[in-house]
Structure 1
Amino acid sequence: MGVRDDLGRDLADRGRPGGLQTVSVQVVDVTESGRVNVDWGGALLTDVACTDAYRDRRAGDWVALRPGVRPVVLWRVGPDPGRDGDAATRALAAEAALDVQVVRSATWGTAAPTGMGWQEATTPWIRATNDGKIELYMQVGTQTAPPPSPPPSRPPSTVTVSSTGAYSWRGGRLTDSYYAAQGDPGGVGGPLRGAFFYYDVAAQCAGKTVASMQLTLWRVQDLGPSGGVTVRAYLHNYTDPPSGQLALGDGPQDLVRLSAGAKAHVSLPAAWAQALAAGTARGVAVYSPSSADYCELNGGDLTITFSS
């Protein structure tokens, strides 16, 4: 049976009353391109296209799949997401409001202002905040009304530190790959180990309290098995790739399981986040001696969230 036969059966099914139109399948992973890998009754379909109706794609979603030679995910199956969407919209609106200078209007003239509640300011004071905003304070001679409450304190903005490179080692030597690889792909040389490198993680965290760090990873589509592979991670203490063997630090930690082409944002252990923030670790490595764990990884961006 070839593609022509598959297409014929697909068209025949659609043409019959009651023929198969859609099936419910579960999303295993979302790929870097925005497509998805799905589990259809135990079979893994990779790199499946999606319509625009399927938004906010996540692993674990149940979706309606139109089968065929070129299957397509049509929409998410489940409850109305409106309530969750409202909460997310309100959270974004509150965040945006904190970024806006809270001055309703500004004008001037040679006469005193008209209306109630005005106070004469004898000395203005002004300063810039750490996040580039302006604070204005007016010193008054006689206070005739209480001042407004100060704005709520907020943590520093989230920052993303891009990896300066991804590299791999085999047999104790740096390879010519620009991916971070783990596992044994077969042949001569044994298993691979890979790493992501950064220059300024500690500098970005100086004077701040780190709440969490997320590592962005995606599996290269055509390297390794199509099914899920567990990413086995370590810390390392290099700012640049060594020419000899890469020494591994704390680990391993099983960070995430990724199928071919999948992308994920993975929370690092709290102790790892603190080590990277303090500069006692410099980057993240991956390693496994097993052929079943062979995969190659791209990405490496660290998203850092602060609590103060």
Structure 2
Amino acid sequence: MADPLGGEADRLAAVLAATGTGGDVVSLQVADVTESGRVNLQLGDGSLLMEVACPDSYRNRAAGDWVAVRLSSVPVVLWRLGDDPATTDAADLQKAATQAAQDVQVVRAATYGTSVPAGSGWQAATAVYMRKVDGKLEIYFQVADASDPSPETPGVPTPKPVTISPTASGSWRGGKPDDYAGTPVQGDWTGRGNRRGGWFYGSAISSACAGKTVAGMKVAFTRKAGAGVNAKRPLHVYLHSYASPPSGQLDLGDGPEDLLRLSAGAKGTATLPKSWVTALASGSAKGLAIYASGAADYMAVTGGQLTITFS
């Protein structure tokens, strides 16, 4: 069975023996949340505890959280330390309820027949109009005499966020695709040359933004374990102008922007600069890339899901 500490159980045992903290409950800060949902924890000496398990009750895990941890040969997070989350939970529930209400059609009942309807309050329509707004149907009835005033038309809701997954990704070295790297990689670990990685979306980004006001874009990345050092290192992110992977060199556009730092196995989300949002929305840029020189920031990265919000 694989070591849940990523091969560092012996080192942890030595630390516990030296400090006399074996089995004690201590407070540690979360360095990163990993793809598996576990966490990497920051020790006082600057090193990391990798892939520490958490209880189901520890929700919305995030880098920077302070948690109570039982230290042993296999440490476990017990709970998160901090303020009562009730206020945040209430806000999230209200937001979800508002979105659900916007998704529901406002017509209470739709029936038909060959005779006039029974009951009071009906008005005869001389013409019917319809249109689709934000994926929802609007119906307008033209009446000869509006004896009962019409309700107000609801405002058009803000378009929902759109998440776009890359259609392809890969790495390049020496001016051509690197067959030895199945995922995007930045840097050089072996001295054979620096790699650059890229994510490709076709025309999906600009198509999703057409006719809308874009508020922002975020991209999600996961750093693979077992590539480079365990400690946090920056992703050096660039734009590129390719709809699909090139057969030659992957030329880099604007950048680098060090949008986030990840430890081994960690996942994170980065907010793109406004100028990049404009370029991607217009189609003048089409995708994202990473590049680094040497071994210091060497890493392999997966993900690339881009979330667009509108206003």
Q: Normalised by the size of structure 2, how large is the TM-score?
A: 0.88
SS at match of 1:272: helix
* 1:112, distance to aligned residue in structure 2 (A): 5.2
1:36 corresponding residue in structure 2: 39
Query: What is the match of residue 114 of structure 1?
Result: 119
Of the structure 1 ranges 193-202 and 251-260, higher mean CA displacement relative to structure 2 is found in 193-202
Can you give the 5+ residue segments of structure 2 that lack an aligned partner in the other structure?
Answer: 1-8
Of 144, 147, 151, which residue of structure 2 is paired with 1:148? Answer: 151
Look up the match of 2:266: 262
- Mapped to 1, the partners of 2:288 and 2:153 lie a distance apart of 41
Q: How many residues align?
A: 295
Cα distance change, pair 59–25 in 1 and its aligned pair in 2 (3 A) = same
Contact 2:236-2:258 within 8 A present in 1 as well = yes
Do structure 1's residue 218 and structure 2's residue 222 form an aligned pair?
A: yes
2:198 is matched by which residue type in structure 1?
A
What stretches of structure 1 move > 6 A for 4+ residues in a row? none
Aligned pair 1:98/2:102, yes or no? yes
Distance apart, 1:272 and its partner CA = 0.7
Deviation at 1:6, TM superposition (A): 4.4
Q: Structure 1 residue aligned with 2:208, among 196, 204, 209?
A: 204
Shift of residue 22 of structure 1? 1.5
CA deviation string 1:124-181 (max 9, x = no partner): 5242414332212222222223221211221222211111122111222311122111
Change (3 A) 1:156 1:131: same
Amino acid at match of 1:134: L
Q: Indicate the larger mover: 256-265 or 129-138.
A: 129-138
Q: Report the CA distance between 1:187 and its aligned residue.
A: 2.5
Query: Aligned to 1:291, what secondary structure does the other structure show?
Result: coil
Report the secondary structure of 2:53's partner residue.
Answer: strand
Query: Following the alignment from structure 1 to structure 2, what is the Cα–Cα distance between the partners of residues 141 and 174?
Result: 69
Q: Deviation string for 1:43-77 (max 9, x for gaps)?
A: 31111111101111111111111111111112111
Report what 1:58 is aligned to.
62
How far apart, in 2, do the equivalents of 1:127 and 1:266 lie?
41
Preserved contact between residue 65 and residue 71 of structure 1 (Cα < 8 Å)? yes
- Give, in whole Å, the separation in 1 of the partners of 2:142 and 2:102: 24
> Residue 119 of structure 1 contacts residue 143 of structure 1 at CA under 8 Å; is this kept in 2?
no
8 Å Cα contact 1:126-1:134 kept in structure 2: no
Matches within 5 A, 1:129-144: 129-144=132-147
Secondary structure (helix, strand or coil) at the match of 2:303 reads strand
Does residue 234 (structure 1) correspond to residue 238 (structure 2)? The answer is yes
For 1:44 and 1:54, how far apart are their aligned partners in 2?
20
Which residue of 2 is the match for residue 300 of structure 1?
A: 304
Structure 1 unmatched ranges of 5 or more: none
- Contact kept? 1:165, 1:178, Cα under 8 Å: no
Q: State the Cα distance separating 1:107 from its structure 2 match.
A: 4.8
- Normalising to structure 1: TM-score of the pair? 0.88
User: What is aligned with 1:287?
Assistant: 291
Worse-superposed segment, 159-168 or 137-146: 137-146
Could you say which residue in structure 1 is the equivalent of 2:3?
none
Return the letter of the residue paired with 1:114.
Answer: G
- Residues 232, 128 of structure 1: alpha-carbon distance in 2 compared, 3 angstrom cutoff: same
Cα RMSD after superposing both structures: 2.3
**Sequence identity of aligned pairs in percent?**
48
Aligned twin of 1:276? 280
- Which piece of structure 1 moves more, 209-218 or 145-154? 145-154
Q: Kindly indicate whether the alpha-carbon contact (under 8 Å) linking 1:193 and 1:288 is maintained by their aligned counterparts in 2.
A: yes
Q: Which amino acid aligns with 1:243?
A: S
Partner of 1:162: 165
Q: What is aligned with 1:249?
A: 253
Task: Give the distance between the partners of 1:196 and 1:286, measured in 2 at CA.
Answer: 9
How far does the alpha carbon of each residue in 1:266-304 deviate from its partner, in whole angstroms, 9 at most, with x for none?
111111111111111111111111321111100111111
What letter matches 1:203 in structure 2? Answer: S
Shift of 1:103: 2.1
Tell me, yes or no, if the aligned pair for 2:133 and 2:156 is still in contact at 8 Å: no
